[in-house]
Structure 1
Amino acid sequence: MNDAHPAPSHNPAWPWTWLALCLLALALMYAGTGIHRIGPDPDALDFDTGAALATVRQLIPENRPHPTGSAENRAVADRVEAGFRAAGLTVERQATDLCTAMSPGCSRVENIIATLPGSGGDNGERNVLLLLSHYDSVPASPGAGDDISGTAVLLRAAHELAAEGPWRNDIVFLVTDAEETGLRGAMAFVEQHPLAERVGLVINLEARGAAGSSALFETSTGNHALISAYADAVERPVSSSLMVEVYRRMPNGTDLTIFIDDGVPALNFAYTGAGSLYHTERDDSDRLSPGSLAHHGEQMLALARAWANADLAEARADGDATYTDLFGRWVVAWPQGWNLPLAILAVLLTAVLWLRSEGGVLAKLGALSLPLLLLVAHPLLGAVLTFPLAKWPGAHLLDHPQPMAGDWSIFIGSVLLALLAGTLAARRLSPRALLYGAWFVYALLALLLALTLPGGSYIGLLPLAAFLLPLAIESLLRRGRYPLASALLGLAAATYMAIYHYAVLEALGSFNASAMRMAALALFAIVAMPLLAARPKTGLKLRGPVLATLALLLVVTTVATTRPVATPDRPRWANLVYDLDVDANGVATNPQWRLNTYGVTAHAAASLMGFTAPPAAVDLPGTPRRPMYTKPAPSLALDAPALDIRSQRQDGDTRVIEATLRGARDGYLLALVFDTPADLLGLAASGVMMTGPDGRGIATFNGFGNDGIDVTLTLPADRDVSATLVEFSALPDTPEAREMLEARPADTSPVQRGDHAEVRRRLVL
């Protein structure tokens, strides 16, 4: 193949043009993927955002936490029920105490089930469209995002759908309790409610933050029909088959997990921006993003309308789709079975192009080695950038208040790597060999994904299509000349994939995960690099662009290190805890204050709150040993939880103890923890064996307050067994506690269990 150049023999301005082109491509794609990073404009969405925000505020008017079993949670449940009744729906409450082996323990559950009857009636088929959210919160948080926002959307959807009906299918709105304590509300519905047998499709709304786009991140298997309907119905889709496939491989779960495990077709939506607000005191109605709420609502209503009159049997399909959204406006999808043939075809085509390019064997191998080098160099440079962007200023694991400078530090780092690799090649290797070698590597990446992670195959296949299809035309029209137009189109598609997945990976980690996120930028760099040699090898002056890019990287990175890493609206996490041990004789010992910090240690908060000693390792029952701030505390007269033995008997080599666990401070959680997990041969409640010798020796009981919980313990008969019963309850209101809470800086928030007391009773059984 002729490797002639279309340009004159001297073009010293091309490296600067290339640099400007790369920065422009990154900037345009960064702006174009704004919906993925910051969410949509609520004013542009087809949803009554104002009404939904008002509903959020009505459900949690005081922005108080409402964990399972609390009086606050019952008040929220009453408001949810009243909202559905106001829409004209039939409402019932499903109340039960559910014990499970998954997340061993029990929860007090009160689900809310509202039904909008369809015209089809109960014909014995799966003709129920189930719209799902949960209303309980963790003990630290008002839960405006997680998941009062989803509940508010369901209430607004109930009003809309009731006014627009009748529909063919029954529409059931299930608002579960006890999601945060082991998904037990969803389990109670699936295991105990007769409607569960008729559910043909479930759509769930969740959140892991308080901002960003509402992304379809999980589906049931065999999702091809679901994705086709999603693409047709939703105006602003945000999803990809890679999100779905990665989430399937993660240990996380939501209420939808229970329905998917039950074989029901399902769709799961969540937003993950402002992750530092997740499960914190600051996840309130004032900080909830209107755009996220509206995006939830627009998609839920669009899909509900699409499926309410459809045959829900059509939600099932034999295979998955491979797909991605484009700029949050369109979905490109095809059957997953196409991936491997398409990837093999792309490998063969690019291999032929690479092998026919000018140059000997060593030159061709050199053209392959540089893209491979870039694939390795990107996560390495990302790991280096972690220190100025995250470790040095102490950035949050999930979130950064002002990420733009850090983002551009990583983008410019990728440009620098491409420029350095191009510098090595520009004067020595054939421009076509570099170009086709880079796309050959891209095709090999597509093949690897098709074999190992089929849901991610589009990452390689779509840019390859953007390069190879125009190349066929350009080769005919501009025979013998460098295919610059095809290369630029391929670069545009690859840059979109790089920036898109850079944004998606933010859900897994902020700048602490710079190595992982920068790896996505290699998709851009490996096809940008060969364009540096698209113009003549003679006369290329690369020193200036290299020095300019390096200087720009240093400036932007320096600016990034000056940005605040925690603010009141994007806080770091720290809980104030009062610890008290009560020994087997009922004597209180070792009272102390503890500052639990998560992710980034809140040194400033510790100092301001009077913790002067450095963090030291603390041993707590059932908790991994890790450094914590502690200081002595007064011995407060706090009642301890109790285990009352009702009866016991010996059964061969075991002892069977019938006992009642009881809190003493109306706490939200009791935990029974055995010193040696193997000593717990069995723990049952309500007829359910929750844990045995293969478990971790821990069971939790949520929402029972001071009510007793009857349990059956099976223990060895030949020895005493040691355990600890821990009650988690409200932080004592003392002058010292108030002083420390007032001193905690505004950029630090309680999280998860929040500020609380832990009173531990040692047991010898």
Structure 2
Amino acid sequence: MRKTLLLALIVAGLLAGMAATRWLSLPPPLRANNAAGQFDAVRAKARLARVLGNEAPHPADSAAIDGVRERLIAEIRALGLQPRVTDRFACNKLQKSSGVSCARVRNVLVTVGTPASAPNLLINSHYDSVPVGPGASDAGLGVAAMLETLALLKDRQLPRQLTFLFNEGEEIGLIGARAFLDADPLSRRIDALINLEARGTTGPVNMFETSVPNGAAVRLFKENVRNPVANSMAVSAYRLLPNSTDVNTFVEERDWLFLNFAPIGNETRYHSPGDDLAAIDLATLQHMGDQLLEVGGALASGATPEKRDSDKLFMSIGTRWLLTMSAISPAFLAVLLVVGLCIDFVRRERRTEALPVATAMPLLLLVLLVPVALAWAGLSLVGTLREGQFWRAHQTTSELAIYAGVIAAGVALLAGMKRWTLPQLRRAWWLLFVLIGVLFSVFAPGAMVYFLLPPLIFVIGTASRTRKPAAETAGSLLAAMLLFVTLGAALGLVQDLINSGPLWLLALLGGLVLMPWLIEARPLVEGWRWSRVAAVALAFAVLAWVPAAVAPAYSADRQQQWTLQYVVGAGPDQPLWSVVNDRKPLPSEWAGFGPWRQGTLPFSTRPRWLAPARPVAGLVPARALPVEARATPGGRRVRLRLQSNGADSIALIAPPAAVIAGLGIPGQLRAVDRGAKGPYSLTCTGRSCDGQVVELSVGPRPVVLQVVGTRWALPAIAAPLVAARPANARPQYLPDASITIERVQI
């Protein structure tokens, strides 16, 4: 009974600890009072509120962004500074895809500091929003942080110049960054960049990307930031993702030292109407501003560090320390740990005549993988009953169900490993842990930083056991604690990062954090009948899903993705209604607007609900009219004139099988990546697209283009559907829109 109670307390403590992982990297609390020269988040948010005005969406080259720009300029002038505005129609290659995006953009720039021959520091963020939301965090947080930092630095005697670039067009393809590189002479005087972004509205501001090699940038960050949140695993992983920021365009042509910052908490408001001023966490804004002021002030006060340093691995511990090590050191340390652990358990096995520790490693790997299967099964079962992102409003309930599965499987499987002693399981686990780290580092080299110190502490403990028998147990517990505050803190950030899925990945990462604790708890189930342990563990794992199965899927804060579109020209039949949501079945109130079916549209492979719609008079499609074609070696150069006919965005889409070498406008033909997946696309956004001539470099064979015109508004007949949209549902990523599809052969 005593063992049962102790085991129950340990399980409860482990679940509480996993629920608290997000708290390991919270931004510093909002200061009640700021000293002279300190960043003031309240004042910064007030500046942003004046810039955003009525908080209407303000995409690039729209009437709404004209007002935002005027208010931004007025805010800078109120500081006694005179900004300059550049105006350019520009095209930029879409990062990591076979597309090009074009628009007319107006960048706002202001420079402070002592004029000198030394290169400038560039501080960059964008002031345009997506058409579906006001962009108060993305990237209003960056605008607010820059304005407040500008106010604090403008009167300092800085030995070098700082240029603050508020760019337009990031959301439609990083076009403002491209316009700055192509046409602004100042871009040739830059040698360092601080970029501010956002993928959420709350939480710590992560430094998630650095220049390569990163030694100089990481040292700069470590020496000047008081509350660092960063790790090299995230930096490595980000390079594998399709996401991009202005940095991707800047570093394509410039060898700048750079740091990239963004918060990722509560992504459910990101790129939606929920990204408003009310959602901004002042502590998050303060964390961004403090880091900008600390790093920017350091760079403005001295020369930019040389980039010749080798790469560093790094991780923050809490928000107080940043641990760094040479990128070469982990390889040697990993080898030493593997050798040391192997020697230790070989010597010990000769004395104990027990089964070799190596035979326990495949079973421990199974203990890691079984919870992944349990998590997938739990998510699939509850998803079948409820469908949609049922965890969206209360993600912690699903996370705890996943971690409960890890604990249940771990206890049951470890209880069945009766032939292995506790010391053997410890050695087998930490050796396996190091090898898993080596495997992770093949795909994300920065991950190895998390797989060295805990096993090193354990090895030190085992080496001391001859003098102090309790040292091994102490070393094992200390290693588990360090793993929780390092990898556990990273897991807390990952939970926010993958809140749209796949959540089963948390079972693997959670298993790495929980395993040493489960091994230490194994003696509590020794002597128990295995079938009983397995039955109780299975019941616990199943019951843990009950809160996730009954908790509301959506809330006013964390709403369901729900975009309604009216589409004309998708096929020979009548127009269609399109609903893009998280694949949740439509509510019964929508049956009268049906019949609904799952399908796709010609310009997108994303699954959606489709239903016939009535024709609407006066909705004229956007068009692309051929104006010139001339032969080139191996193909043709074709020019077309765009007619928007009221569309806010026009996309020319060619099939993946087409031979396309370049897309853009005359004088700005951008080479496209033929190796990228998906169709080729040339997109023009904004008022200035009407009448704009675009250019395509194509092969000798005819190509049929889809001309997709998008209006960021619905026709009047959509009013009943909008009214029937569920209460806690809103557009995200894609705006409610009217879409026309034409085809033209070139």
TM-score normalised by length of structure 2 = 0.90
Q: 1: distance between equivalents of 2:697 and 2:529?
A: 79
Does the CA contact (< 8 Å) of 1:204 and 1:269 recur in 2? yes
Query: Residue 380 of structure 2 corresponds to which residue in structure 1?
Result: 387
Identical counterparts, % of pairs: 24
Residue 724 of structure 1 aligns to a residue in which SS? strand
Q: 1:732 to 1:612 in 2, by over 3 A?
A: closer
C-alpha distance after superposition, 1:272-317 (max 9, x if no partner): 12112221122111222223222211221221222221211x1524
Please tell me the residue identity of whatever aligns with 2:643: R
Query: Residue 376 of structure 1 corresponds to which residue in structure 2?
Result: 369
Please tell me the residue identity of whatever aligns with 1:112: V
Does the CA contact (< 8 Å) of 1:659 and 1:712 recur in 2? yes
Query: Residue 243 of structure 1 corresponds to which residue in structure 2?
Result: 234
More displaced 10-residue stretch of structure 1: 748-757 or 98-107: 98-107
Report how far residue 365 of structure 1 moved: 3.8
Q: 1: distance between equivalents of 2:340 and 2:632?
A: 72
Show the 5 A alignment for 1:70-89: 70-89=62-81
Q: 1: distance between equivalents of 2:105 and 2:503?
A: 41
Residue 64 (str. 1) matches residue 51 (str. 2): no
Residue 463 (str. 1) matches residue 454 (str. 2): yes
Q: 2:650 aligns with which of 648, 664, 670?
A: 670
More displaced 10-residue stretch of structure 1: 606-615 or 46-55: 606-615
Query: Residue 323 of structure 2 corresponds to which residue in structure 1?
Result: 332
Q: 1: distance between equivalents of 2:223 and 2:655?
A: 56
Residue 517 (str. 1) matches residue 506 (str. 2): yes
Report how far residue 510 of structure 1 moved: 2.5
Query: Residue 702 of structure 1 corresponds to which residue in structure 2?
Result: 685
Q: 1:567 to 1:439 in 2, by over 3 A?
A: same
Report how far residue 731 of structure 1 moved: 2.3
Q: 1:712 to 1:451 in 2, by over 3 A?
A: closer
More displaced 10-residue stretch of structure 1: 272-281 or 524-533: 524-533
Report how far residue 147 of structure 1 moved: 0.9
Q: 1: distance between equivalents of 2:312 and 2:673?
A: 42
Residue 166 (str. 1) matches residue 157 (str. 2): yes
Query: Residue 424 of structure 2 corresponds to which residue in structure 1?
Result: 433
Q: 1:260 to 1:711 in 2, by over 3 A?
A: closer
Q: 1:227 aligns with which of 206, 218, 229?
A: 218
Report how far residue 436 of structure 1 moved: 1.5
Q: 1:329 to 1:26 in 2, by over 3 A?
A: farther
Does the CA contact (< 8 Å) of 1:434 and 1:530 recur in 2? yes
Residue 267 (str. 1) matches residue 259 (str. 2): yes
Please tell me the residue identity of whatever aligns with 2:297: R
Please tell me the residue identity of whatever aligns with 2:518: M
Please tell me the residue identity of whatever aligns with 2:706: T
Does the CA contact (< 8 Å) of 1:67 and 1:73 recur in 2? yes
Residue 83 of structure 1 aligns to a residue in which SS? helix
Show the 5 A alignment for 1:719-730: 721-730=703-712
Q: 1:143 aligns with which of 135, 150, 155?
A: 135
Q: 1: distance between equivalents of 2:364 and 2:649?
A: 54
Does the CA contact (< 8 Å) of 2:315 and 2:486 recur in 1? no
Report how far residue 206 of structure 1 moved: 0.7
Cα RMSD for the two superposed structures: 3.0
Query: Residue 685 of structure 1 corresponds to which residue in structure 2?
Result: 665
Q: 1:376 to 1:764 in 2, by over 3 A?
A: closer
Please tell me the residue identity of whatever aligns with 1:569: D
Report how far residue 322 of structure 1 moved: 0.9
Q: 1:384 to 1:512 in 2, by over 3 A?
A: farther
Q: 2: distance between equivalents of 1:490 and 1:570?
A: 37
Query: Residue 601 of structure 1 corresponds to which residue in structure 2?
Result: 584
Query: Residue 596 of structure 2 corresponds to which residue in structure 1?
Result: 614
Q: 1:570 to 1:20 in 2, by over 3 A?
A: same
Does the CA contact (< 8 Å) of 2:24 and 2:489 recur in 1? no
Residue 521 of structure 1 aligns to a residue in which SS? helix
Query: Residue 504 of structure 1 corresponds to which residue in structure 2?
Result: 493
Residue 44 of structure 2 aligns to a residue in which SS? helix
Please tell me the residue identity of whatever aligns with 1:407: E
Q: 2: distance between equivalents of 1:660 and 1:573?
A: 35
Q: Which runs of 5+ in 1 are unaligned?
A: 1-11, 584-588
Query: Residue 34 of structure 1 corresponds to which residue in structure 2?
Result: 23
Q: 2:116 aligns with which of 116, 122, 130?
A: 122
Does the CA contact (< 8 Å) of 1:641 and 1:664 recur in 2? yes
More displaced 10-residue stretch of structure 1: 179-188 or 633-642: 633-642
Q: 1:104 to 1:473 in 2, by over 3 A?
A: same
More displaced 10-residue stretch of structure 1: 383-392 or 326-335: 383-392
Show the 5 A alignment for 1:520-531: 520-531=509-520
C-alpha distance after superposition, 1:251-273 (max 9, x if no partner): 32100112233221111111112
Please tell me the residue identity of whatever aligns with 1:562: V
Q: 1: distance between equivalents of 2:7 and 2:480?
A: 12
Residue 711 (str. 1) matches residue 704 (str. 2): no
More displaced 10-residue stretch of structure 1: 648-657 or 168-177: 648-657
Does the CA contact (< 8 Å) of 1:471 and 1:486 recur in 2? yes
Report how far residue 651 of structure 1 moved: 7.1
Show the 5 A alignment for 1:293-332: 293-312=285-304, 314=305, 316-332=307-323
Residue 180 of structure 1 aligns to a residue in which SS? helix
Residue 401 (str. 1) matches residue 393 (str. 2): yes
More displaced 10-residue stretch of structure 1: 378-387 or 346-355: 378-387
C-alpha distance after superposition, 1:114-135 (max 9, x if no partner): 11123xx331x43x12111001
Q: 2: distance between equivalents of 1:435 and 1:498?
A: 18
Report how far residue 684 of structure 1 moved: 4.7
C-alpha distance after superposition, 1:297-350 (max 9, x if no partner): 1221221222221211x1524212111111222211111110101111111111
Please tell me the residue identity of whatever aligns with 2:563: N
C-alpha distance after superposition, 1:498-553 (max 9, x if no partner): 5323323224423742221110022134323332355796x567777766555444
In the comparison of the two structures, how many residue pairs are matched?
732
Show the 5 A alignment for 1:748-763: 748-763=729-744
Q: 2:170 aligns with which of 164, 174, 179?
A: 179
Please tell me the residue identity of whatever aligns with 2:565: V
Please tell me the residue identity of whatever aligns with 2:412: L
Please tell me the residue identity of whatever aligns with 2:578: L
TM-score normalised by length of structure 1 = 0.88
Does the CA contact (< 8 Å) of 2:664 and 2:694 recur in 1? yes
Please tell me the residue identity of whatever aligns with 1:107: A
